[in-house]
Structure 1
Amino acid sequence: MTQPIVNVYVLGGTITMAPGAKGITPQLTGDDLAAGLPALKDIAQLKVHTPFLKPGASLTMDEIAQVARDMAADVSAAGCVVVQGTDTIDETSFLLQLLYSGDGPVVMTGAMRGAAAPGADGPANLMAAVAVAASPQMQGCGVLVVLNDEIHHACAVEKMHKGLASAFQSPNGGPLGYYVEGGLRILRDMPAHKMPRFAPTRFGKIALIKTSLDDQPDLLAALPGLGYEGVVVEAMGAGHTSEKWAPALEAVADKMPVVLASRVMSGPVFRNTYGFPGSEIDLLGRGLVPAGWLSPHKARLLLSVAVGCGLDGQALSAAFEAFN
């Protein structure tokens, strides 16, 4: 039986890092990682690519878009694995979900411990990721994140701890399944078929502004002059700000799209419960767009893509409805 082909794109991150003069830095290529895990050959035929090596925090949206195009161009592959730094996997995976036009699964993975650290988790994560990408039952599932033997969907996963191997969780439903005893155990249906895909000609310049106790909204008025084309406000609770933020947000919403998200990771932004100034009813009535289940940083990516597609008004609101 012919083994499935899996493209592996290694972009850097802790999984590629080895000790240097001032701490660990990206050094290992994709070929190095594959050579250190010969059992991968028992799962799939690998095509390994190392376009660059950098920390996850330094990745750009344009670089991720190029990876999406490269993956879609190879129709011979059953699936793809993207190896990168865990700092931004919860963002880059969602961006790929919005951009990737192929049918095979894309599996993001990385490591929480460097390659030379005791208990390094990179090899096990890479093994599980390749197995998920090669599995016929994962066709059409979109973009997944696999670490610590857990399978998460890109739309739901968040990095919830700075250092533990179990750092990645899906607060609104848990993992989709597990990699156990060399096989997959899927707990529920994959949601990818319901997710919109986009082909932006560019990425919009979007701000992410966080609210906090007794904070001032002064930064909002400066955004248009700085060239921003939209803003996501990271509100409190169910989607609330101080009453003094409400008129400032309305003024900005007259000039650019403003998306209402929440710093609380579990649950959607409310729409019809609270009625005080700065509540979700008040803010949505002032023209803000609810982020639904999306975290603020994921909402920023969707808004950037939507603006890059030329969407505004009802079309832009409809893009967020898929996540409500």
Structure 2
Amino acid sequence: MNRLLLLATGGTIAGSADDSATLNDYTAGVLGGDALLAAVPQLQNLATISVEQVANVDSADLLFEHWRALVERIRDAFAADPELAGVVITHGTNTLEETAWLLQLLIDDPRPVVLVGAMRPATALSADGPLNLYQAIQVAVSSAARCQGVLVVMDGQIHGAKAVTKIATQGVSAFASPDSGPLGWVDDAGVHLPSAEAGRPKPLAQIQLPNDWPWVTIVYGCVEPSGDWISALLGAGVQGLVFTGTGAGQLSERERSALRAWDRLLPLMLRSNRCGSGPVYGDADQAQFGLLPASGLNPQKARILLLLALIAGLDQQGLASLCEAA
């Protein structure tokens, strides 16, 4: 029997409401990981599962310390048990894609790490959590999932950590990979994934996460944005900026003027876009400020890359190389 580690962090999959017909007014992170397993007795046929409760929160309230705990526990578990088949993480959907991407950058092991959540609380009629959890564990113990990187399993689809994002506030099909589509799917016939390609190098996989993380924030592009906001952030000592530019990552003249007016060293900065799909390429006009393109990363994932680059002590050239390799 496969051995599997389940790390529970809360979220809607562990949520509870007063009435089974209630889908929106509920409390996330009520049930523990043991209760989630007990609700799906069929899991006993898939693996011997150890459960650890890392947190029990709405994922909007997830903290850097939770991220550090997840990374350290997964690294330790893989190092201590060569026979461990994989790790499954139950997680709230609001920031699930961010945790998946962080782990993709920091965990260097061929065994699967699978994140799973739910769009309906555990108490709801037709709750999606139990089947999502069952299918996530199907994937985690499958040989087809080895060397695929960190995966997200929702509504029968298997997504890669880099491309996946939450695209809807309601409905069980709330996750998609806009530019590439899902990697595969899982159903009662098994796990359907293409053969894994050779793994890319993970230059950040050995860094140790600190107690105090750098200050990196996201600036959202819109009509007539405030350049004063950028000036205030720079004056307050922000260590990194991610611009959610309009179109293909474009900054307005007001935003460029605020950067141009800053007479000291600018922090590391990345350009993403607010469109939800499509890459951001290099631009000579933006490059004069040291603005690097985040390629296909959405703003929240670009922020994670920038956070880790700062923790690793990378300069602008190192960040550029990291963006190309990510």
TM-score, scaled relative to structure 2: 0.90
In structure 2, runs of 5+ residues without a counterpart are 20-24
Q: 1:162 corresponds to which residue?
A: 169
Residues 146 and 196, structure 2, Cα contact 8 Å, conserved in 1:
no
RMSD value, Cα: 1.9
Q: CA, structure 1 residues 4+250, in 2 after alignment: closer, same or farther (shift >3 Å)?
A: farther
Using the TM superposition, give the Cα deviation of residue 64 of structure 1 relative to its aligned residue in structure 2, in angstroms: 1.4
TM-score, scaled relative to structure 1: 0.91
Quick one: distance in 2 between partners of 1:58 and 1:319?
28
Query: Which residue identity does 1:259 align to in structure 2?
Result: L
> What fraction of aligned residue pairs are identical, expressed as a percent?
35
- Residues 277-292 of structure 1 correspond to what in structure 2 (within 5 A)? 280-292=283-295
Using the TM superposition, give the Cα deviation of residue 20 of structure 1 relative to its aligned residue in structure 2, in angstroms: 5.2
Q: 2:22 corresponds to which residue?
A: none
Match of 2:17, SS? Answer: strand
Quick one: distance in 1 between partners of 2:199 and 2:115?
15
**Is 1:322 the counterpart of 2:320 in the alignment?**
no
Using the TM superposition, give the Cα deviation of residue 18 of structure 1 relative to its aligned residue in structure 2, in angstroms: 1.2
Match of 1:208, SS? Answer: strand
Q: 1:81 corresponds to which residue?
A: 88
Select which of 54, 58, 61 maps to 1:55. Answer: 58
**Is 1:213 the counterpart of 2:216 in the alignment?**
no
Quick one: distance in 2 between partners of 1:105 and 1:141?
7
Residues 68 and 209, structure 2, Cα contact 8 Å, conserved in 1:
no
Match of 2:304, SS? Answer: helix
Using the TM superposition, give the Cα deviation of residue 250 of structure 1 relative to its aligned residue in structure 2, in angstroms: 4.3
Match of 1:209, SS? Answer: strand
Q: CA, structure 1 residues 201+14, in 2 after alignment: closer, same or farther (shift >3 Å)?
A: closer
Query: Which residue identity does 2:125 align to in structure 1?
Result: P
Match of 2:200, SS? Answer: helix
Q: 1:264 corresponds to which residue?
A: 275
Query: Which residue identity does 2:32 align to in structure 1?
Result: T
Shifted more, 93-102 versus 294-303: the winner is 93-102
- 1:44-70 CA distances to partner (integer Å, 9 max, x unpaired)? 110111122111101112211211111
Match of 2:153, SS? Answer: strand
**Is 1:125 the counterpart of 2:160 in the alignment?**
no
Query: Which residue identity does 1:37 align to in structure 2?
Result: V
Quick one: distance in 2 between partners of 1:193 and 1:214?
41
Query: Which residue identity does 2:139 align to in structure 1?
Result: V
Residues 147 and 196, structure 2, Cα contact 8 Å, conserved in 1:
no
Quick one: distance in 2 between partners of 1:223 and 1:244?
15
**Is 1:44 the counterpart of 2:55 in the alignment?**
no
Count of residues in Structure 1 that have an aligned counterpart in Structure 2: 313
Q: 1:313 corresponds to which residue?
A: 316
In structure 1, runs of 5+ residues without a counterpart are 272-279
Select which of 106, 110, 132 maps to 1:99. Answer: 106
Query: Which residue identity does 1:225 align to in structure 2?
Result: G
